[in-house]
Structure 1
Amino acid sequence: MDFLLSGVTACAACLFTNPLEVVKTRMQLQGELKSRGTYRVHYRNVFHAFYTIGRVEGVTALQKGLAPALLYQFFMNGVRLGSYGIIESAGYIYTEGRVSTVKSTGAGAVSGVMGAFVSSPIYLGMIHALSVIHREHGLMGLWRGSSAAVPRVTCCDDEQCGGRPVHDSI
């Protein structure tokens, strides 16, 4: 049940944060292949980007990519938080009745690794992309890049970083 509730909760949060991801990506990609000052700036700031995307493409455009984002969040956080809950319930993070920082950190790291590993194929894309990757690169191709995702979630788990990933504070 921990897996299901964790996944559903992450999906609920994703509904609210996905428009921010769309805006961030659009702003990052404008003028991507041109020198500074040689391209037209479509989005002056975050608020202008929200307004422009909504006006030009419609409000639903702010939720582009929602299906893969929901699927990814469901599996990543369902496995990550669900497995941590099981480890905690089994008593593995306690020493003499008290929460052990070392054991809790280790449990968070293991849970993060499991979530990143399971969700890595989903992060690459949806059904068509998954089938093309599988056909061209085999089963292991679905986990390409997981070697980079695993260390990130191992040391930057939300619970371990006070609610924010370490890499975002750098």
Structure 2
Amino acid sequence: MDFAIGGMAAVCAGFFTNPLEVIKTRMQLQGELQKKNKQNIRYKNILHAGYQIVRHDGVLALQKGIVPALWVQLIMNGCRLGFYDYGLSRGYCNDKYGNVVFYKSVIVSGCGGVVGHYLSNPFYLIKTQLQSESAKAIAVGHQHHHKGTWKALSHIYFKEGVSTLAVIACAYVE
């Protein structure tokens, strides 16, 4: 039950924070490319970035990548809280007197976090690629032009295979 409740709470929060993620993603890409002298300044600051995105791509562009972003939140936080609930109900977080032991709780929750990150990472990759897509006038870096979450997953699978999705997931956990 904690998986569902925790996951849905994170999904609700993700819906409201996604516009900030879109702006952050584009500004980070711009900063990385500026370090390599490969990008002009498109976004001066957070407000300017938001204005440029709305001006060139429309207000809905601030919610780009929302579907994979919500899957990331559901899987990551659901696993973390679900593992903790499971460990607590089975006594893995308790001492012999039934008291909750901090380090055991951290280990159980940490295992849930690792599993959650591993499983959600392909969605995280697609979220970032969708969030970075923009109109040519304000484009930063390589544009992937995915037509949605599931098409992106199938594109990566058919182009690179399952091993690429697994490598991507492992790279995020490391």
The normalised TM-score by structure 1 is: 0.75
Q: Contact 1:18/1:63 (CA < 8 Å) preserved in 2?
A: yes
Q: CA deviation at 1:25?
A: 1.5
The one-character-per-residue Cα deviations of 1:38-91 (angstroms, maximum 9, x if unpaired) are 864332211222222223322211111111111221122222221222112222
Give the match for residue 13 of structure 1.
13
**Unaligned 5+ residue runs, structure 1?**
152-170
Q: Which amino acid aligns with 2:107?
A: G
Give the match for residue 63 of structure 1.
63
Give the match for residue 98 of structure 1.
99
Task: Give the number of the structure with larger relative contact order, counting CA–CA contacts within 8 Å between residues 6 or more apart.
Answer: 2
Q: CA deviation at 1:114?
A: 1.5
Alignment of 1:152-167 (within 5 A): none
SS in 2 for 1:144: helix
Q: Contact 1:112/1:150 (CA < 8 Å) preserved in 2?
A: no
Q: Distance in 2 between matches of 1:36 and 1:137?
A: 27
Equivalent pairs counted in the alignment come to 151
Q: Contact 2:119/2:169 (CA < 8 Å) preserved in 1?
A: no
**Unaligned 5+ residue runs, structure 2?**
127-148
The normalised TM-score by structure 2 is: 0.73
Q: Distance in 2 between matches of 1:84 and 1:76?
A: 13
What's the % identity of the aligned pairs? 46
Q: Distance in 2 between matches of 1:92 and 1:35?
A: 47
Give the match for residue 116 of structure 1.
117
The alignment's C-alpha RMSD in Å is: 2.5
Are residues 91 and 17 of structure 1, via their aligned partners in 2, closer, same or farther at CA, if it must alter by over 3 Å?
Answer: same
Give the match for residue 107 of structure 1.
108
Corresponding position: 1:133 with 2:156: yes
